[in-house]
């Protein structure tokens, strides 16, 4: 199934969660002295409690990336010092599609990053926890969004797109090896793997992955449209996938939280993050827009 | 629920699999320079692809343990060198109940191990992947088999007793801390934890855990009884839980494998392991005994 | 000897090199899930080939720090998320005295950092590879610059101040333990420790450490004075210790390199770093100023 | 110099100590999922405080080896399970020459181990902390004892043969790479490397290494001869290098310790270890034999 979606050389390794998919992918792609170039906003940097460093001994070389997107120029800020034994050697670029800021790399942007990384001898990892949302946004298939763009290894998300708990590592560069041993060693091998694989089959055999992700994206667009013109509401990122980032005036977020749960993104500037999912309904969106309308008018 | 089963001070942390439960338990129980005393036959030594060493940087100090059981005397073979900076410092004893060899520690044996470990300043970890089978064999509850015997931290098994994929760490010694951070860092935190917890609730809220384990034990006893007197069949371990270890004459195992799947235990001496589970039926046992009868009579 | 210099509670552990001193100090000061707040320019972040991450599994939480100096405000940019299992837990602030940019924290600045860190429950590590230079610049002793300011653990430099190869970890907070085991485990225990200790005694028993460092600082001040007014020469950092940072016009650095060896600091902006040492002479300084005068006048 | 001694393809990396040499050598020779087959008596297993496990994430697969020597048959006890993801994959055989028990592999024994390891796809590491003693005992050069026998990477000892503190990794298999990065990452890179290298040059440029080691061996042989016939003194290992292992009657060791310092080897059976070095004199040996004579006659 995975080869049908990603290409004939793809190898796949189901795992339990996104942290596992990301850490194993990076660990498999670099030598022991390798480092990973990523956006400072990357999930692997901000939300894994140091798992890449702790479990895999990986140094992250971060760059501030507007909209959460890497570019060749941003990569160059960290991709240097090759051959200098004092510096952790850049070996992989890790990008997230769709990004942690709800934006989506275009195919051209992806190819530019991959081509640049490869020209420097680096491999490209895609944190695809929300890759389905990225594909839905771009209107392309998984292969176009990964293999054809030059990506070498993918953390393919399932849990954020409706599964109970299942992700997969998809290896596109056949020189990346040892995932079977690493998966066991890193405690991501299920003894009853069939119950993980079955979830992935349910999502990806047909077009459920694409329909669910497209629906989540649509709900985010609808939510953005419904609140964009409210007074004191400032949408801070292009709404391209299933997330809306908004700066609210003091007190508004707290009033809204009485009925809707969401995370602060940047407490200092009053920015919050709203994420829509496969089971967000039009009614949910309308209700939240209403609640916000009441909260800002107080 | 867990406190009802293990005592008022128990803290529980659901995880994905047994490797995770074991490695996190050990990591949480020792300082960075600590080592773990265990049987050479312990699962953490033989079947985790080095996860304790790799993920947690733990040195295992192994002893040959007849029947897979540690004793105070066996522990002493490795529990020495305290204060010597050249030696990894023994800090935890890890035992398995029921053992990897299908035997069961009596409550007296457990207490002796725990008392001895504590007298040396070591904590006691129980790999309880098959703890339910141990309790069924002893006819005691979880609390008697752990807390009351002096165990400090338990890997509580679910998957081998019928769950899709769920285990739990149960912390009985309140000085063991940081499991919440370690679980995330070690990639064992589910984003939809409820689907892991629900499995554990289904198993442990009533007596399903005990009935399933007791049934598996009964099937193993029945299997042992059915094959014990066959020519050339030598049962090598006391059948106290849900496993039967047998030495067969050359060729017999291969003939039997045409209809039943099982692992070699010690290829050199022709020893194999048969494990019964919650869904092994009396018919399965009879069919296997019949198949073995045919295989040995050829 | 060390207690005479740092206070009665100091414990000291000689090691081979600065990487070892830094990594062990940090590792001893944090739990397994702890992270270290430091300047992005810190040596532990830029020049240890990932040793903190790889050997000790430590995540570095970096902030851009003008002049290489942390402040309470800068620390706050990373010291948050306490209790959130998704975030590596800030546990130590690591500062460098004198800094990687040749500046020196005043005693007031040190106290402010230490007080703020302690108020958040964090310990303070000082990378003191050039602590002697810091003391010479401030005109204070080692105790005033560390213990009295609130520092908890120090990497005490020797190699940069004239030794063949010897550094020491000085533990000031008696709750930090296990250095003896960690030193062996981290491969920093010499079997003939006396040859490391003898170097440290030679440097620190009298005032050689202070005289050597003071001389190096003087030479840097003299060098700065000698080149400050040359056309196209821009000194970019206050010259407070033994280093001078300069932006030169294109081609100048390469001409100067024909007779003097030094590193680029920021190739993009033409910034280089000149470091004076215990054996830099007034003649060396004059010769380099002359060489620069010729290089800029071409 | 090293190429003259080991062959044209040798690459050498000076390091601080034996722990560093061993751990880096092993780390460089195996994939992340690799394990090391060694004698249970190997220094890497018994006296490194878990450095291989902790720093390099290496699992040691140990076998009981009489006289401290591995053989093809002993290697086979751990070199199995290739391709089984549950088992740490055997990737390197590590042997010690001369051994921890004072014995010396013959060239034929070395070749047998290397050939067998290579036939299984494993590399061979030699812990050569006392390789000079081994060469002196065999009457062969370093090349014959390593490269020509098939060894792939060597920890070349200096400190035990008279240096202040200097060892070297000698890479003989050119497919083993990355030592420069690993050395820095593992905190074994001296900033003033010349003071480490100078020691190695002093020892190995001429024949000092061989004369010093030969002398130490001679002193051990003389010591063994002088005590062999004393009542209650049982030499337990062939005295082939610079160590003598003896079982003494109760109380004798303690009386002897009043004038001579040495370690217990196996406290339970009263076995102690005496090691001679480059600066042991004939007078030292005579005095110790005399002291023992007095101690046993009391």
Contact C117, C93 (CB under 8 A): yes
Which pLDDT belongs to residue C268? 85
- The Cα A79–Cα A84 span in angstroms is 12
Partner residues linked to B123 by β-bridges: B92
Omega of the bond leading into B98 within 30 degrees of 0 (cis): yes
CB–CB contact C17 D190 (8 Å):
yes
Separation in Å, CA of D102 to nearest CA in chain C: 19
Q: Which regions in chain C score pLDDT beneath 50?
A: none
- The Cα A239–Cα A95 span in angstroms is 18
Structure tokens at B34: 């600590």
Secondary structure letter of residue C106 according to DSSP: -
Q: Does C49 touch chain A (CB under 8 A)?
A: yes
Half-sphere exposure of B243 (CA within 13 A, CB side): 24
Of D47, D48, D88, Cβ closest to residue B50? D88
CB–CB contact A192 B49 (8 Å):
no
CB–CB contact C186 D48 (8 Å):
no
| pTM of this prediction exceeds 0.80 | yes
User: What share of chain A in percent tops pLDDT 70?
Assistant: 100
Q: Render A213-262 in DSSP notation, one character per residue.
A: HHHHHHHHHHHHHHHTTSTTEEE-S---SSEEEEEE-TTHHHHHHTT---
Residues 6+ apart with CB under 8 A from A258: none
Structure tokens at A15: 């795992």
Contacts of D49 in chain C (CB under 8 A): 181, 184-185
Three-class secondary structure of residue A65 per DSSP: coil
Contact D4, D61 (CB under 8 A): no
Question: How far is residue C76 from each of residues A220, A272, C81, C93, D39, measured CA to CA in Å?
Answer: 33, 20, 11, 11, 51
Q: Does D182 touch chain A (CB under 8 A)?
A: yes
Looking at chain B, which subunits does it touch, using at least 3 CB pairs closer than 8 Å as the criterion? A, C, D
Number of neighbouring beta carbons within 10 Å of residue C12: 19
Sheet holding C123-128, edge to edge: C11-15, C167-171, C153-156, C123-128, C89-96, C34-39, C59-63
- The Cα A72–Cα A93 span in angstroms is 10
Separation in Å, CA of D270 to nearest CA in chain C: 25
pLDDT 10s digits, D14-40? 999 999 999 999 999 999 999 999 999
- pLDDT band at residue B129, thresholds of 50, 70 and 90? very high
- The Cα C17–Cα C155 span in angstroms is 10
Which pLDDT belongs to residue D298? 75
- The Cα A147–Cα A171 span in angstroms is 10
Count Cβ neighbours within 10 Å for each residue of A220-240 and write b for 16 or more, e otherwise: bbbbbebbeebeebebbbebb
Number of neighbouring beta carbons within 10 Å of residue D197: 16
At residue D22's C-alpha, the angle toward residues D16 and D28, to 5°, is 105
- How many residues would you count in chain A? 298
Contact B30, B61 (CB under 8 A): no
Residue among B34, B33, B13 nearest B24 (CA): B13
- pLDDT band at residue B267, thresholds of 50, 70 and 90? confident
pLDDT 10s digits, A167-179? 999 999 999 999 9
User: In terms of DSSP H, where are the helices of chain B?
Assistant: 2-6, 18-29, 43-46, 51-56, 72-76, 107-119, 131-138, 142-145, 179-185, 194-204, 208-227, 252-256, 282-297
DSSP H or E run through B169? strand B167-171
Structure tokens at A170: 């998809």
Q: Which regions in chain D score pLDDT beneath 70?
A: none
How confident is the model over B207-219, as a mean pLDDT?
Answer: 98
Three-class secondary structure of residue D4 per DSSP: helix
The sign of the CA dihedral A192, A194, A195, A199 is positive
Helix/strand/coil percent split, chain D, to 5: 40, 20, 40
Partner residues linked to B12 by β-bridges: B170
Q: Does D82 touch chain A (CB under 8 A)?
A: no
Contact C29, C153 (CB under 8 A): yes
pLDDT 10s digits, D63-98? 999 999 999 999 999 999 999 999 999 999 999 999
Q: Output Rg (C-alpha) for chain C, integer angstroms.
A: 19
User: Does domain B2-206 correspond to CATH entry 3.90.170.10?
Assistant: no
Phi, psi dihedrals of residue A288, rounded to the nearest 5°: -70, -40
Q: Does D257 touch chain B (CB under 8 A)?
A: no
Answer left, alpha or beta for residue A235, where phi above 0 means left and psi between -120 and 50 means alpha.
Answer: beta
Give, rounded to a whole angstrom, the gap between the first and last alpha carbons of chain B.
53
Write down the ipTM of this complex.
Answer: 0.94
Contact A33, A47 (CB under 8 A): no
Phi, psi dihedrals of residue B235, rounded to the nearest 5°: -80, 125
Chain D residue with minimum CA distance to C190: D17
Residue among B277, B296, B294, B273 nearest B285 (CA): B277
pLDDT 10s digits, A250-295? 999 999 999 999 999 998 899 999 999 999 999 999 999 999 999 9
Tell me: pLDDT of A24 over 90.
yes
Contact C152, C123 (CB under 8 A): yes
Give, rounded to a whole angstrom, the gap between the first and last alpha carbons of chain A.
53
- The Cα A193–Cα A183 span in angstroms is 12
Three-class secondary structure of residue C193 per DSSP: coil
- The Cα B137–Cα C93 span in angstroms is 53
Contacts of A89 in chain D (CB under 8 A): 181
Best mutation target, A88, A89, A90, A267, to test chain C (most C CBs within 10 A): A88
Which pLDDT belongs to residue C298? 75
Contacts of D81 in chain B (CB under 8 A): none
pLDDT 10s digits, A208-231? 999 999 999 999 999 999 999 999
Partner residues linked to A122 by β-bridges: none
Tell me: pLDDT of A298 over 80.
no
What are the domain boundaries of chain A?
2-206, 209-297
Partner residues linked to A244 by β-bridges: A274
Please give the CATH number for the structural domain made up of D209-297. 3.90.1150.10
Which pLDDT belongs to residue D268? 85
**DSSP collapsed to 3 states, C44-82:** HHHCCCCHHHHHHCCEEEEECCHHHCCCHHHHHCCCCCC
CB–CB contact B85 C32 (8 Å):
no
Which pLDDT belongs to residue C246? 97
Three-class secondary structure of residue B193 per DSSP: coil
Tell me: pLDDT of B298 over 80.
no
Residue among B78, A242, B168 nearest D50 (CA): B78
Which pLDDT belongs to residue B268? 85
Residue among D263, D258, D268, D262 nearest D298 (CA): D258
Structure tokens at C245: 């940072």
Phi, psi dihedrals of residue C89, rounded to the nearest 5°: -80, 120
Tell me: pLDDT of A10 over 90.
yes
DSSP H or E run through C154? strand C153-156
DSSP H or E run through A111? helix A107-119
Which pLDDT belongs to residue C144? 98
Contacts of A185 in chain B (CB under 8 A): 48-51, 54-55
**DSSP collapsed to 3 states, A184-221:** HHCCCCCCCCHHHHHHHHHHHCCCHHHHHHHHHHHHHH
Which pLDDT belongs to residue A38? 98
User: What share of chain B in percent tops pLDDT 70?
Assistant: 100
Contacts of B191 in chain A (CB under 8 A): 17-18, 159-160, 165
Phi, psi dihedrals of residue B229, rounded to the nearest 5°: -100, 5
């Amino acid at each position: 199934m995975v080869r049908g979606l990603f290409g004939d050389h793809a190898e796949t390794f189901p795992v339990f969660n996104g942290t596992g998919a990301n850490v194993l992918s990076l660990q498999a792609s670099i030598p022991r002295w390798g480092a990973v170039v990523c956006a400072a906003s990357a999930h692997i940097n901000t939300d894994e409690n140091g798992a890449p460093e702790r479990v895999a001994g990986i140094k992250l070389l971060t760059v501030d990336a507007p909209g959460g997107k890497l570019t060749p120029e941003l990569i160059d800020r960290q991709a240097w010092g090759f051959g200098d034994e004092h510096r952790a050697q850049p070996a992989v670029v890790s990008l997230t599609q769709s990004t942690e800021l709800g934006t989506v790399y275009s195919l051209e942007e992806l190819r530019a990053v991959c081509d640049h990384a490869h020209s420097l001898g680096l491999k490209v990892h895609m944190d695809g926890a929300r890759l389905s949302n990225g594909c839905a946004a771009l209107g392309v298939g998984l292969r176009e969004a990964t293999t054809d763009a030059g990506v070498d290894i993918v953390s393919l998300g399932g849990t954020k797109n409706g599964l109970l708990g299942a992700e997969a590592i998809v290896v596109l560069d056949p020189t990346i090896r040892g995932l079977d041993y690493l998966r066991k060693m890193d405690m991501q091998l299920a003894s009853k793997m069939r119950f993980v694989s079955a979830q992935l089959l349910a999502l990806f055999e047909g077009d459920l992955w694409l329909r669910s992700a497209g629906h989540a994206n649509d709900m985010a667009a609808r939510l953005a449209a419904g609140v964009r013109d409210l007074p004191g509401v400032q949408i801070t990122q292009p709404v391209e996938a299933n997330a809306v980032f908004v700066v609210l005036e003091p007190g508004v977020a707290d009033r809204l939280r009485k009925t809707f749960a969401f995370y602060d993104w940047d407490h200092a500037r009053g920015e919050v993050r709203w994420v829509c999912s496969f089971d967000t309904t039009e009614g949910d969106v309308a209700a939240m827009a209403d609640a916000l309308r009441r909260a800002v008018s107080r």
